[in-house]
Structure 1
Amino acid sequence: MPASDDELTVMANEELDAACAMPFVEVRKITPWGDSYEGFAPSGRTVEVERRYLWAVEPEGGVIVEVEVRDRAARTGAEARALLTAAD
């Protein structure tokens, strides 16, 4: 079983992969946007997952995708971030 922080980091990276899987043209249509939901970590503990799609200043027209996974009870969390561009 991974340590708590490792588990949250793995979840954040997996959620980021899912958030970035949408075609760029579709990502642009929903930016700026964000949502959050309650889920379960592999260990069974309750976590909050938040996704954010934000306009990037550079390169112009790019989108920053951020995912944060938080365990509010333990006051821990992990974040993953990617920059998407039309070339991706």
Structure 2
Amino acid sequence: MTDLEADLAAMAEDEMERAAGLSWAELAPIMPWGDSFDGFTPAGRNVTVERHYLWAAEPGGDILCEVNVFGGQTRFDEGVRLSLTISREGSV
């Protein structure tokens, strides 16, 4: 892994930790939802961070959370993408 990849991965993992802090019950009423912002990685690189919440399969079921971190729109394909599922089970 290059220094750039490690830096982007660290930023994506930090953002995913924040994203996963929201419960199914908090997210369900605002689905689908997403946002993006410009920020700085731990090494000080300027990046774009996107967070998306989508229904994993069907509305009312589990929620797919996606985080993308990349060095601007022209470098989207070189970014780091993480995803996780926020389960409805036990949340209602």
Q: For this structure pair, what is the TM-score category when the shorter chain's length is used for normalisation?
A: 0.7 to 0.9
Cα RMSD, aligned residues only: 2.0
**Between Structure 1 and Structure 2, which shows a larger proportion of helix residues?**
2
Q: TM-score normalized by structure 2?
A: 0.82
> Could you tell me how far apart the structure 1 residues matched to 2:73 and 2:63 are?
31
Structure 1 runs not aligned, ≥5 long:
none
TM-score normalised per structure 1: 0.86
Which consecutive segments of 4 or more residues in structure 1 shift more than 4 A?
none
Q: How many residues align structurally?
A: 86
Long gaps (5+) in structure 2: none
Q: Which has the larger strand fraction?
A: 1
Query: Does the 8 A contact of 2:51 with 2:67 survive in 1?
Result: yes
**Does the CA contact (< 8 Å) of 2:69 and 2:81 recur in 1?**
yes
What residue identity is the alignment partner of 1:85? Answer: S
Alignment of 1:1-88 (within 5 A): 3-57=3-57, 61-72=61-72, 75=75, 76-87=78-89
